[in-house]
Amino acid sequence: MVAVEGETGVTIRPAHPDDLAELVEIERAAGELFRQLDADLLADHDPGSVEELVPYADDCRAFVSVDARDRPVGYLLVDLVDGAAHIEQVSVHPDHARKGLGRALIEHAASWASARALHSLTLTTYLDVPWNAPYYERLGFRSIPAGEETAGLRAIREHERALGLEVWPRTSMQRFLA
């Protein structure tokens, strides 16, 4: 598939099998941001494996933003959860942070979901981490009250708790699509 030049000038394309090792490295590097908040446990969290990324690449549910040499510098994974496109992960390498790549990846996911008639984007995230819920709010997401989460989102939250990720308050968020 041909790479897409978004409105922002960021180039986003589906992930190729050859990209996947780089995505694991991006995940590890992006996690370093959490050391700023003394959350070494999160920074040291398993960044996942190429094998876990293969189904996303195979289904064209992994998107990468690339540099001028077509090398991934950020990525986003989508799952289908209760009729929504659920952002399973979005990460940008710190060397390329705060240039709008995260926003462009999320807008790409919104277009992808709209083209499939999905009603919304969802995600789960930390409520008070500056580059998590406050950032997503600026991108049009709103927190879902705990009692209103779908069964799929509740299961994801439960899985995250079991992994020990709930070191701070977390929330599910949703952005409705036109």
140 touching ligand COA, by CB under 6 A: no
Q: Which stretch binds ligand COA (CB under 6 A): 108-116, 126-134, 143-151, 154-162?
A: 126-134
Q: Which stretch binds ligand COA (CB under 6 A): 54-62, 123-131, 143-151, 161-169?
A: 123-131
Q: How far is the CB of 125 from ligand COA (least distance, A)?
A: 4
What's the Cα-to-Cα distance from 124 to each of 42, 106, 141, rounded to whole Å? 15, 14, 11
Q: Which stretch binds ligand COA (CB under 6 A): 91-99, 111-119, 152-160, 162-170?
A: 91-99
Q: Which of 33, 57, 84, 121 binds ligand COA (CB under 6 A)?
A: 33
CB under 8 Å to 172, separation ≥6 — which residues?
A: 122, 123, 124, 143, 144, 149, 153, 156, 157
Give counts: helices (H), strands (E), the chain: 6, 8
Number of residues that bind ligand COA (CB under 6 A): 18
Q: Which of 15, 64, 66, 101 binds ligand COA (CB under 6 A)?
A: 101
Q: Please, which residues bridge with residue 72 across strands?
A: 66
How many CB atoms lie under 10 A from the CB of residue 88?
Answer: 16
Q: How far is the CB of 154 from ligand COA (least distance, A)?
A: 17
CB under 8 Å to 86, separation ≥6 — which residues?
A: 78, 79, 80, 121, 122, 123, 152, 153, 156
Contact residues: ligand COA, CB under 6 A:
30, 33, 90-92, 97-103, 123, 125, 130-132, 135
